[in-house]
Structure 1
Amino acid sequence: MKPMPPHLEIHDNRFAALVHPVSTLDVIAEGFTWTEGPVWFGDHHCLLFSDIPSQRIMRWSEATGLSVFRSDSGFNNGNTRDGQGRLVGCRHGARDVVRTEVDGSLSVLANSFQGKRLNSPNDVVVSSDGAVWFTDPTYGIISNFEGYRSTPEQLARNVFRLSADGTLSAVVSDFVQPNGLCFSPDERTLYIAESGSSHDTSVPAVIRQFAVEGDGLRDMGVFAEIDRGLPDGMRCDVMGNLWSSAADGVHCFDQKGVLLGKILVPQVVSNLCFGGRDGHRMFITATTCVYRVFVDVRGL
């Protein structure tokens, strides 16, 4: 086996089959305040990502480089695509979840629960049945850095499910600060990051796992623990491995929560996604930069 480059840290030999010994960790965009929410648009060969405090959604492509996709994003954070390919995002400013329609207009999908404003929707995924699942911590309202300082109206920091018919329900309510979330390949498991240690060091930096049962979730306990910093955004690959953000980079776990290895990044990582023309590039948002690295597995 060839020696691995310094940005790859192997904890299990299976990790060597997911990366490559001649890969490089490249900066493709820099000079931002706090990058988040990467999402790949394969049909346009471009990456969108948020620069939350600057209230911008940026666009990057190999062909045209960097440009502004939306200049007044309302402190947009997490992003995903729905089954029709439309952009779905979480805005801290308006405290809502919005969808960008084909004509460029915005449709508000959710902004309140039981007659009270949401906290600050953070990250979002869309399941194959059209339901929108999102986390609602208070990061966007505890200061004016990523939103507008405000008193929470919700009694909990919930994880929500918005059904295809528009019914909003709280499916988990016992997180200190729920953050990133993603499904397993078969959508039978939903992984959710607990990032409450950002403001309370007594909170464990863990990824929890839930069995998807109909419209609800059943708690299956802790899936994995992050040993550097805390978990934020994360994605699964087609093999079922979970790739999570952390303070020192991206941590890769197998389906049982065993740490396989790390992609070490010089800045604190907030999120990641798979993409590129061949599907074998991982895009990593990390503080002021966006990185790209080859991985030998595709994302979901």
Structure 2
Amino acid sequence: MKNMLLLYILSFSMACGANKPTPKAATTSLVADGATLQLVSDQFKFTEGPAKDAAGNVFFTDQPNNRIWKYNTDGQLSIFMENAGRSNGLYFNTKGQLLACADGNNELWRISMDKSVQVLVKDVSGEKLNGPNDVWENASNGDIYFTDPYYKRDYWTRTEPARPQHVYLLRGGKLTTVATDLVKPNGIIGTADGKRLYIADIGDNKTYTYTIEKNGSLSNKKLLAAQGSDGMTLDERGNVYLTGKGVMIYNAQGEHLQTITVPENWTANVCFGGVNNNQLFITASKSAYTLLMNVKGQ
């Protein structure tokens, strides 16, 4: 009888234990063990637009000084281009050319590595853009998406937006609007498979995710985070990196995973680079930094 009672108690305890939720494993830091921010340089006026080429070199802008810089995989810094159209956001297309939000004249440029420039977009039905800010190309079909917020520049004569602050699609030379309900769209990035687009509405302090349809239009708008962002990037796990007061990392479900503190007043943009694509490159005010990560860029 005693043995049967013990067997019953043991079975009951095991059953109860099986029904208990399994504790979640501790979240592993996305930053490499022991890694700290490494200052590249603080010689700039305001850094923006980091973009990685196929080799892992990172190009970025010093917009007020009208330059595009190159930080190569050996850690060497050099000026790639002077008189760079007051470029802001950059992105490498599949042909190894830089797409540049050149808001000196409110245009979208394509820059070859020999520094020749082609103006892809100069106006909308004869009206100037506000000032292209951030850009992404869908590698699966060459579609180009860019944001067009208004930020007053001291080199402009106009003092108000030229037109509504929209997000545009350039497909086959034709320009269309794909998002018209945002207050001030800024950061933009898409997934490597070309199926999802993230857009930050910095004017409403929110970041959204969209489905990219076959015709290039956007659908299924969903809130990712109640936080805006200047620039954005993605890692191989689908985590989204937002910028502003440091770098804030969210998973694809919108859960905040980690914050990287940056010792500057403003963190403008971020991308992955380096030979192994696991070096986070951060543009922040007058400086640029790198940080070794446990993950790679997408």
TM above 0.5: yes
Are 1:136 and 2:144 an aligned pair? no
Q: CA deviation at 1:63?
A: 3.6
Provide Cα deviations, 1:77-119, integer angstroms capped at 9, x if missing partner: 0000111111110011111010112542100011111221111
2:222 corresponds in structure 1 to 221
Are 1:32 and 2:48 an aligned pair? no
**Change over 3 Å in CA distance of 1:153–1:259 after alignment to 2:** closer
Q: For the residues of structure 2 that align with 1:119 and 1:107, how far apart are their CA atoms?
A: 19
Q: For the residues of structure 1 that align with 2:285 and 2:39, how far apart are their CA atoms?
A: 12
Are 1:125 and 2:136 an aligned pair? yes
Q: CA deviation at 1:65?
A: 2.3
Provide Cα deviations, 1:108-150, integer angstroms capped at 9, x if missing partner: 01111122111100000000200111000011xx231xx4241
1:192 corresponds in structure 2 to 199
In structure 1, list runs of 5 or more residues that go unmatched: 1-11, 197-202
In structure 2, list runs of 5 or more residues that go unmatched: 1-24
Kindly, what percent of the aligned residue pairs are identical?
32
Q: CA deviation at 1:263?
A: 1.1
Structure with higher Rg: it is 2
**Residue 166 of structure 1, aligned match among 165, 173, 179:** 173
TM (norm. structure 2) is 0.86
Q: Is the 8 A contact 1:98 1:109 kept in 2?
A: yes
Are 1:22 and 2:34 an aligned pair? yes
2:277 corresponds in structure 1 to 279
Amino acid at match of 2:249: C
Q: CA deviation at 1:242?
A: 0.6
**Change over 3 Å in CA distance of 1:64–1:254 after alignment to 2:** closer
**Change over 3 Å in CA distance of 1:296–1:56 after alignment to 2:** same
Question: SS where residue 166 of structure 2 aligns?
Answer: strand
**Residue 157 of structure 1, aligned match among 165, 176, 195:** 165
The within-5 A match list for 1:1-300 is 13-16=26-29, 18-43=30-55, 45-61=56-72, 63=74, 65-128=76-139, 129-139=141-151, 142-144=152-154, 147-151=155-159, 154-163=162-171, 165-196=172-203, 203=204, 205-214=205-214, 215-226=216-227, 230-247=228-245, 249-267=246-264, 268-300=266-298
Q: For the residues of structure 2 that align with 1:63 and 1:298, how far apart are their CA atoms?
A: 18
Instruction: Identify, as 1 or 2, the structure richer in strand.
Output: 1
Q: For the residues of structure 1 that align with 2:186 and 2:200, how far apart are their CA atoms?
A: 5
Q: CA deviation at 1:14?
A: 3.1
1:4 corresponds in structure 2 to none
Amino acid at match of 2:137: V
Q: CA deviation at 1:15?
A: 4.6
**Change over 3 Å in CA distance of 1:285–1:166 after alignment to 2:** same
Q: Is the 8 A contact 1:161 1:170 kept in 2?
A: yes
Question: SS where residue 163 of structure 2 aligns?
Answer: coil
Question: SS where residue 53 of structure 1 aligns?
Answer: helix
**Change over 3 Å in CA distance of 1:63–1:212 after alignment to 2:** closer
Q: For the residues of structure 2 that align with 1:67 and 1:235, how far apart are their CA atoms?
A: 23
**Change over 3 Å in CA distance of 1:151–1:246 after alignment to 2:** closer
How many residues are matched?
A: 271
Q: Is the 8 A contact 2:73 2:274 kept in 1?
A: no
CA RMSD in angstroms comes to: 1.8
Q: CA deviation at 1:167?
A: 0.7
**Change over 3 Å in CA distance of 1:102–1:284 after alignment to 2:** closer
Q: CA deviation at 1:62?
A: 5.0
**Change over 3 Å in CA distance of 1:219–1:154 after alignment to 2:** farther
Instruction: Identify, as 1 or 2, the structure richer in helix.
Output: 2
Q: For the residues of structure 1 that align with 2:192 and 2:26, how far apart are their CA atoms?
A: 23
33-42 or 72-81, which deviates more = 33-42
TM (norm. structure 1) is 0.85
Question: SS where residue 171 of structure 1 aligns?
Answer: strand
Q: CA deviation at 1:33?
A: 1.1
Runs of 4+ in 1 over 6 A off after TM superposition: none
